[in-house]
Amino acid sequence: MNQGLTVLFAEDSAPDRLILQSIITNAGYTAVPAENGLAAIEAFDMHKPDIVLLDVLMPTMGGVEAARILREKDSDEFVPILFLTSLSDTDSLVECIEAGGNDFIPKPFNQTVLLSKIGSFARIREMHSTLSKQKEQIERNNMHLIQEQTVAKQVFDQIAHTGCLDEGYLRYHMSPFAVFNGDVVVADISPTGSMMVLLGDFTGHGLPAAIGSMPLATTFYGMVRKGFSVSDIMREINQKLYDILPVGFFCCATCLDISIKDRRIRYWSGGLPAAMLYRSQEDRFIPLESQNLPLGILSAKDFKDDTERVFLDFGDSVFLWSDGVYEARNPQGQMFGEDNLHSLLEQKKGSPDLFDEILRAVHGHVGEGEKDDDLSLVEIPFIDVEYKSKHSEVAKAAQKKLVDWKMSLSLEASSLKHFDPLPLISNILDEVQGLWPHRTLLYTVIAELYSNALEHGLLGLDSQLKKTPTGFAEYYQTRSDKLDALEKGSIRFDIRHRAEGEGTDAGGTLWIRIVDTGPGFGVEKDVTELNTNKDEVGEAEPVDQFKSRYFGRGLTLLKSVCRSVTIRAPGNDVEIAFAWHSSDK
Amino acid sequence: MSDSFLDHEALGSLKELLGENFDLLLETFLNDGQQRIGLLVQALNEKNLQTVREQAHGLKGSSNNLGITQLGALCSDIEIQARDENPNGLEQKIATLQQMFAAVSSEIERYAS
């Protein structure tokens, strides 16, 4: 490792130079002699030595001055300077070190001492070089990370700020790089004029925390603009995050649906500190507690999308925050804490400056720390205003698509074997904007009707078979065989839609009638079951045995969801009427 | 003067170290020493104690490196006295130095051949 070292030495005595030269050359190094300090500096520039030996007392320029000049040269490299000296007084020695010298080699020269010191310092030089390179690598890597984060942030900002966050309907505070702390706030206006707000806090820091914000924001905005409910949106986002986030990563969130018209908020909350609702009439705060696990933890099967409903009055306000507020630390490391925040809320409740007071208090606590501002705070005042979406033009245009229409679709055996009509029908229904919030439900209804028509009506299968695991498998095997063998028979869909009302009072009724060419199930006369109160889920009136056998649980579902269910004799003809309205209940 | 100024052991090591350059070393020492003493004497005449000090220092170093310690010690005395700006007896010391160097030179020449 030390082979090939270049050793520069400055010594004014000629015989001494000869001796040094011999020692150095014999050790296998390259010797570069100089007569004095000045010559040494010139030789330094020309030969770029690895080590420098300097005599102290030399004419023209001594070793100390030469050392100072060499040290002033700008360089990332470390070149050891060893003084050759017979001086023994401490002051002189100190002067050498202060000029930049690293060690002394005594005179008269001792070959062993000389070579050992050269060897040691060569190793130090090597270590320094390695460290330097590693430091440069680290700096480069950091630069890359920062560049990546900047790009990610730009992409995110494009997505996040397409909503109504800056329209003045709410106040929010987040640090500019909050997305890298996992915090996200999105808000937009639904086609029905409600404002939907979501505050999220992803686990982790840096890019992993930011990654989840993208699908969350795009899903949120996409669904809000199509009129989906908080439940649907939370369900969808939960599923997305469940699919993409690694185990242990999740998103605490609170989502609000604020309707001025209906004077109410619907909310879903999982994992965040409780949102605080200020009731101005009662001059007190009510917590909107988190009922659920954060998003991304539960599979679709276990996820609870139920929302709570709270009424509001003008003058009320809702405050949301992530736990960055509690965890803000002062220079001593103490957290701001939940108690502090709650007592501040209590002190200043009703004050229009409460939002600013909270920010002031937390920033005051944190002080001049170098920590990034890591708190997210949202205030939504409940005022008599109409939420106007930037996208309302698009929404209105969309509303003018399918309004009053009807269609009929008949499928013969040959088509039924290979073609599943449900996605097609679902797509057509998608063109009725008012039905969007009910997509999932309607799909279930149509699927139920179709499967009854096909499997019971045409294929003659008995659904009782599905009740046991082996029976289940047998059922579907039989279904597959019988479908392949189907020669004749057909199913007809008759679908009608009529719209009623306008704007926020818009509504409509969808009729879906499915008729199959099967024998029916012994229904002797037409029956219509009315569901006068759609909120009564699962309330079964005494049901005719035939009907219950025919539909299984299907009838209960249809009845609970549809305004009416009509079965026409002999039972192969079922029509449901489904009503929708632009405001929910 | 019956005692030798030379340390044969030291010179032996140097011979090993320098190899074929050993003679060159001796020659260089003699020439260098001669030159320094000349400058020293001239400096004394000019009352230039700084130069006296420097040249004495230089000759001290090379003498000691060759193991000619007596010569080195005398140079050291002269160096210190010149540094302290003490002119007392300096002239004598320098005269002694010249003589000693002459003797050393003869010995070296005898050694080399």
Q: A-chain residues within 8 Å CB-CB of B14? A: 19
Helix (H, G, I), strand (E, B) or coil at A355: helix
Residue of B nearest to A110 (CA): B65
Taking the C-alpha atoms of residue B102 and residue A253, their distance in angstroms, rounded to an integer, is: 100
Are the C-beta atoms of A221 and A389 separated by less than 8 Å? no
Task: Output the pLDDT for position A389.
Answer: 75
Q: A14 contacts in B (CB within 8 Å)?
A: 28, 31-32, 62
Instruction: Tell me what pLDDT residue A475 has.
Output: 82
Q: Do A107 and B29 touch (CB under 8 A)?
A: no
Contact by Cβ (8 Å): A273, A323: yes
**Which residues does chain B have with pLDDT short of 70?**
1-2
Q: Which residues of B touch A16 (CB under 8 A)?
A: 61-62, 65
Through-space distance between the first and last CA atoms of chain A, rounded to whole angstroms: 83
* B65/A15 touch (CB, cutoff 8 Å), yes or no: yes
State whether residue B87 sits within 8 Å of chain A by CB.
Answer: no
| Chain A neighbors of B31, CB-CB under 8 A | 14
State how far the Cα of A243 lies from the Cα of A250, in Å rounded to an integer. Answer: 11
List the single residue in A with minimal CA-CA distance to B32: A14
- Burial pattern A98-120, b for ≥16 Cβ within 10 A else e, equals ebbbbebbebbbeeeebbebbee
| A8 dihedral zone (left: phi>0; alpha: psi -120 to 50; beta) | beta
Q: Which residues of B touch A86 (CB under 8 A)?
A: 60-61, 64
Residue with structure tokens 């949202």? A378
pTM: 0.57
HSE-CB at A351 with a 13 A cutoff on CA atoms is 12
CA distance B29 to chain A (A): 5
A107 touches chain B (CB under 8 A): yes
A·B CB contacts under 8 A: 52
pLDDT at site A22: 94
Tokens of A81: 């300077």
User: DSSP string of A44-106?
Assistant: HHHH--SEEEEESS-SSS-HHHHHHHHHHS--SS---EEEEE----HHHHHHHHHTT--EEEE
Sign of the C-alpha dihedral computed for residues A226, A231, A232 and A233 taken in this order: positive
- Contact residues on chain B for A111, CB-CB shorter than 8 A: 17
List b or e across A194-223, with b for residues whose CB sees 16 or more CB atoms inside 10 angstroms: bbbbbbbbbbbeeeebbbbbbbbbebbbeb
Burial A61-92 (b: 16+ CB within 10 A, else e): bbbbbbbebbeeeeeeebbbbbbbbbbeeeee
Q: What is the pLDDT of residue A90?
A: 81
- Per-residue pLDDT at A539: 40
Q: What is the CA radius of gyration of chain B?
A: 14
Give the residue among A491, A463, A468 at the shortest CA–CA distance from A479.
A463
User: From the list B17, B29, B61, which residue is nearest A86 (CB)?
Assistant: B61
A35 in reach of chain B (CB within 8 A)? no
Which residue of A lies nearest to B36 if distances are taken between CA atoms? A13
Q: Taking CA atoms, what residue in B is nearest to A26?
A: B17
CB contact (8 A) between residue A109 and residue B65: yes
Chain A residues lying within 8 Å of B57, measured CB to CB: 57
Partners of residue B63 in chain A, C-beta under 8 Å: none
Residue B101, chain A, CB below 8 Å: the answer is: no
Cβ contacts of A385 within 8 Å, gap of 6 or more: A169, A260
pLDDT at position A59 is 85
Q: Could you tell me if B39 lies within 8 Å of chain A, comparing CB atoms?
A: no
CB A267 within 8 A of CB A230: yes
pLDDT at position A386 = 85
Residue A59: burial class (beta carbons within 10 Å; 0-12, 13-18, 19+) = middle
Q: Does residue A108 belong to the interface with chain B, where contact is any CB pair within 8 Å?
A: yes
Q: What is the pLDDT of residue A33?
A: 96
Helix (H) or strand (E) holding A321: strand A317-321
Minimal C-alpha gap between B36 and chain A (Å) = 10
Contact A216, A200 (CB under 8 A): yes
Is B50 within 8 Å of chain A by CB? no
Q: Check CB contact of B80 with chain A, cutoff 8 Å.
A: no
* Chain A, window 435-474: residues with a beta carbon less than 8 angstroms from a chain B beta carbon: none
Q: Quick check: A23 and B17 CB within 8 A? A: yes
pLDDT for residue A207: 78
* Measured CA distances, A311 to A277, A286, A534 (Å): 10, 12, 21
pLDDT, position A546: 46
Given a contact cutoff of 8 angstroms between Cβ atoms, the answer to whether A151 and A172 are in contact is no
CA-nearest of A496, A526, A494 to A513 is A494
Nearest chain A Cα distance for residue B63, angstroms: 9
Return per-residue pLDDT of chain A as tens, 585 residues. Answer: 456 899 999 999 999 999 999 999 999 999 999 999 999 999 999 999 999 999 998 889 999 999 999 999 978 789 999 999 877 778 888 889 999 999 999 888 999 999 999 999 999 999 999 999 999 999 999 999 888 888 888 888 888 777 888 888 999 998 877 778 889 999 999 877 889 999 999 988 877 788 888 899 999 998 988 778 899 999 999 999 999 888 889 999 999 999 998 888 999 999 999 999 999 988 899 999 888 999 999 999 999 998 899 999 999 999 999 988 888 888 888 888 888 888 888 888 888 889 998 888 888 888 775 555 678 999 999 988 888 877 655 555 555 566 788 899 999 988 888 888 888 888 788 777 778 777 778 888 888 889 888 988 888 887 777 777 777 778 888 888 888 888 889 999 999 998 887 766 778 899 999 999 988 876 777 777 776 554 444 444 444 544 554 455 567 777 788 888 888 888 889 999 998 887 654
Beta bridge partners of A53: A9, A82
Neighbours of A159 (CB within 10 A): 18
CB contact under 8 A, A111 and B28: no
Which H/E stretch holds residue A243? helix A230-244
Inter-chain contact A18–B31, Cβ cutoff 8 Å? no
Closest approach of chain A CAs to the CA of B3, in angstroms? 22
ipTM score assigned to the predicted complex: 0.92
